[in-house]
A and B are shown apart, each in its own frame.
Chain A
Amino acid sequence: MPGSAFFSALEEIYPPERLLRRPAALAAYESDALTAFRVRPLAVVLAESQQEVIDTVRACYEHGVPFVARGSGTSLSGGSLPIEDGIVIALNRLNRILLVDPARRVAVVEPGVANLAVSQAAEPFGLYYAPDPSSQPICTIGGNVAFNSGGAHCLKYGMTTNHVLGLKVVLPDGEVVTLGGDSLESVGPDLVGLFVGSEGLFGIALEITLRLLPRPASFRTILAAYRSMKQAGEAVAAVVDSGLLPGAIEMMDALAIEAAEASVQAGYPEGAAAVLIVELEGEEAQVEAEFKTLVQVIEASGAYEVRVAQDVAQRARIWKGRKGAFSAVGRLSPDYVVQDGVVPRTRLGEAMAEIERLSKAYGLRVANVFHAGDGNLHPLILYDGREEGALERAEALAAEILAMCIDMGGSITGEHGVAIEKRAFLPKMYGEVDMDVMVELRESVDPKGIANRGKMLEVGPWRREG
């Protein structure tokens, strides 16, 4: 427990209304979107300026108090879960868009800016910010940077890391550094690349330079319904094999479709075991040429119903079901955990069959709504937390899915991060030496271990003595 000197330091930085310490005020910060875990922090500070964040980190360092940066708390892996005996530095008021420069096609933002707000600010210039997690109306750029968040367009456009050019960062000891710049090109080691995806363990991003892209000139969106997941999985492989590079290839299974229908009435075909959404985008002449190929591939793939969006409204309707599916599935059940492991795309069908088998074996419903184009699964495992042992069963099922992803040569997480939830699995994906290096990097950058302590790296049995 830090002494009163630490709190005096915080009182120097913050007015009382932005330094929360009463239990009632802290309750809202006790967990993130991984709701199975709750921890009450000692205090929450609501930062409004970069200097306040820097001063806070320095106070934490001086007093050895751990801190957790928090954007909007939509982490699905427990990334923004508070630390006992630590504080939460809430950043969603640090949300100025400092610059949108159409000439250089960059935006400079503070970390609390919502993902979608960047695209909105860029829109008048015909530009947008490509990474689009389903949570984009709320999740923050700071959270996106910490987790290297993805979305529906990663195969073609990459993840957050591919759109961050520069960062201003306060390291865990209060030093402020600038990484990268505002050019697409660079010389020297890619320190931006190392920081993005570091899950808050290397400090807090204060200012982020993002790359903007011109809005695609046209879209062609197709929805195909299948009688089996296997067929849909094979269709994904066929689309990719045809030499097309769609902007998005998304897949939903029966349970996800049912939930989405109940929630947003997207009008998906009835009785589908799976639907596939494929979208082409770019210059019209090119897209039209590619679309002919796409229609041929889809027609040959055994789809029993194919719909082509004829206008903006129909396209929006198709996407509404997909983007709403995630939270809709959440409503099917009191609780759920979601995994986001990655498998080689050619093994999607196999992976889906295995998940179905596990679902039956564990007696838990699993809905799938995911980024098929890059093999990024999103099984939502439904359970009822009030039921004795249900959470444990859901976790055991999740563990088997992760083990499958590792066995198939994939990854335990494509975009949601490791944080608390997958801590035990990181050493299964990487070797002993790889883990050593990660732990050493953490210790070198954060010798007191105060930045997001206990996340991602659990000092565990792989750690050699001495």
Chain B
Amino acid sequence: MIHCRTIEEVQEAVQAHRWVRLCGRGSKPALFGGASPDAETVCLSGLVGVERYDPAEYVFTAQAGTPLQVIEAMLAEEGQYLPVDAMFVERGGSLGGLVAANLAGPGRYRYGGVRDFLLGARFVDGRGRLVRGGGRVVKNAAGFDLARLMVGSMGLLAALVEVSFKVFPRPEAYGSVRARYDGLKGALAAMERLSRAQFDIDALDLAPEGFPSGRTWLWARMGGREEALAARLAAFLQALEEGPAEVDVAWDEEEARFWRDARELAWVEEGETVVKVPLTPKQALRLERGFAEAESCAPLGVRYGVAGNVAWLRFGHLPKEKMVELDERLAAMGLAGLVVMGEPGVRWLGEQGWRNVFFDRVKAVLDPEGRFV
């Protein structure tokens, strides 16, 4: 394993090895490609530091290995935050890892995910070149958007060394409504209605019990001015109508804990496997039916995040054969999966639509020899 402290060291390390496996701070070992035993691991956690933070511009630039915790604390001091709601902050996640793995938490519902707040990036490509994409101002349409290309690229295209993000003022206070439904169907219907209504909802998640989903909790978070919050939540409760079997408002510690556990995947036991599956709210029921026919690889539990735009599937320990089965199952449903927790090895599952000729042509430029694995 090579620990890089400077950009030059990253360039050298990339050029010196036939196969390179990139790693940030190691918060997501499952994402670590395990397929190529001959690959050298190049670790970017030594690239630490905030280069520039200008609260009045809503922009900061930092080295890719900088821990998300450092960034969070820095922004909080100025009353700002990264609305992306990065996952794995407490597990030691880095900024570069956030971009490469594209793992945004429930808060991304309101203003957008990693792709929506990333402004620019510098990266080392497979030829060892240092490339800059995007800019350091909140708006920029010049040239190909190479920075955005890095979002979700999982170390297959380049090693991120520096990133610039847009940030926002942080809501003064939060409150959440939680409502219990007897089944997923009712919760999905309520969620769909709420996501279309004129509420400024920060996060909207479904937390079902068991799998297939039994009783399902709908959580909706609202943030903003303290003085307005109670009235807003009251209006929201009214809009829920008679639907839920049980409903109340959560505040403070209890409220914060739910969302923190969601973004840290703290509702999952250590050693379990978690797969991220992007979908649409309509596909949630289909996904559950799909697994009903394949009990041997069915998950133990699920959370639906971002108003039903992502499912977090929780499994126990998954041996290789089960992975193969899961892969086929997701593909049959036309869904893609990313293994975000679990043993290193298989990362991609199901139908990976991005593997097409457009990607191949991009890869041929940034990593012609296929160094990054």
Contacts and interface: CB of A to CB of B under 8 A. Distances in A.
Interface of A: 102-105, 125-127, 147-150, 154-156, 158-159, 161-162, 169, 171, 175, 177-191, 193-198, 201-202, 214-217, 237, 240-241, 243-245, 282-283, 285-286, 288-290, 342-346, 371, 374-376, 409-418, 422, 426, 429-431, 433-434, 436-438, 440-441, 444-445, 456
- 4 nearest A-B pairs in the assembled complex, by CB-CB distance: A193-B148, A188-B354, A217-B198, A285-B228
A162 B140 CA distance: 13
Nearest to A154: B139
Contacts of B366: 437
A185 B294 CA distance: 25
A72 B195 CA distance: 33
Contact of A193 (B57, B59, B151): B151
Contacts of B102: 186-187, 190
B138 interface: yes
Contacts of B54: 344, 346
A413 B144 contact: no
Given A126-B197, A155-B138, A158-B112, A344 B57 contact: yes
A346 B136 CA distance: 13
A409 B362 CA distance: 28
Contacts of B199: 214, 217, 283
B137 A183 contact: no
A191 B358 contact: yes
B245 interface: no
Contact of B353 (A155, A181, A194): A181
Contact of B143 (A158, A418, A444, A445): A418
B28 to A, nearest CB: 13
Contact of A413 (B113, B141, B153): B141
Instruction: Determine which residue in B192, B227, B355, B362 has the highest number of CB atoms from chain A within 10 A of its CB, and name it.
Output: B362
Given A104-B280, A190-B148, A413-B142, 10 more contacts: A126-B197, A177-B358, A178-B353, A183-B310, A188-B348, A202-B358, A217-B199, A241-B56, A413-B141, A437-B125
A7 to B, nearest CB: 29
Interface in B46-86: 54, 56-59, 79
Interface residues of B, number: 85
Contact of B278 (A178, A187, A201): A187
A283 B142 CA distance: 35
Contact of A188 (B152, B196, B361): B152
B144 A194 contact: yes
Interface string B193-221: 00111111000000000000000000000
A168 to B, nearest CB: 11
22 contacts: A103-B196, A104-B280, A104-B281, A105-B196, A161-B115, A169-B358, A181-B278, A183-B280, A184-B108, A184-B310, A186-B102, A187-B354, A188-B354, A190-B115, A191-B359, A194-B148, A195-B358, A217-B198, A289-B227, A290-B225, A342-B140, A345-B56
B73 to A, nearest CB: 18
B317 to A, nearest CB: 22
B198 A410 contact: no
A305 B197 CA distance: 36
Nearest to B334: A181
Given A103-B282, A191-B362, A244-B169, A411 B309 contact: no
B149 interface: yes
B112 A187 contact: no
Contact of A286 (B133, B153, B168, B225): B225
A286 B228 CA distance: 5
Contact of A161 (B145, B154, B197): B145
Contacts of A410: 135, 137, 140
A429 B306 CA distance: 36
A415 B139 contact: yes
A161 B148 contact: yes
Contacts of A105: 195-196
A411 B102 CA distance: 26
A438 B280 contact: no
Contacts of B336: 187-188
A286 B200 CA distance: 9
Interface of B: 54, 56-59, 79, 102, 104, 108, 111-113, 115-116, 125, 129-133, 135-146, 148-154, 156-157, 168-169, 192, 195-200, 224-225, 227-228, 231-232, 235, 276, 278-282, 305-307, 309-310, 336-338, 348, 352-359, 361-362, 364-366
Contacts of B138: 154-155, 342, 345, 374-375
Contact of B139 (A125, A342, A417): A342
B83 to A, nearest CB: 10
B276 A187 contact: yes
A216 B200 CA distance: 8
Contacts of A127: 196
Nearest to B197: A214
B17 to A, nearest CB: 21
B282 A282 contact: no
Contacts of B235: 283, 285
A433 B278 CA distance: 35
B6 to A, nearest CB: 17
A245 B80 CA distance: 11
Nearest to B101: A187
Nearest to A242: B169
A171 B355 CA distance: 15
A430 B132 CA distance: 7
Nearest to B192: A103
Contact of B279 (A161, A183, A196): A183
A175 B56 contact: no
B368 to A, nearest CB: 9
A159 B141 contact: yes
A201 B358 CA distance: 13
B56 A289 contact: no
Given A183-B309, A444-B364, A411 B142 contact: yes
A126 B56 contact: no
Given A158-B112, A197-B145, A283 B137 contact: no
B358 A186 contact: no
A414 B139 contact: yes
B188 to A, nearest CB: 9
A286 B195 contact: no
B137 A184 contact: no
A186 B278 contact: yes
Given A105-B195, A282-B200, A345-B57, A414 B141 contact: yes
A128 to B, nearest CB: 11
B139 A374 contact: yes
Contacts of B279: 183, 185
Contacts of A193: 115, 145, 148-149, 151
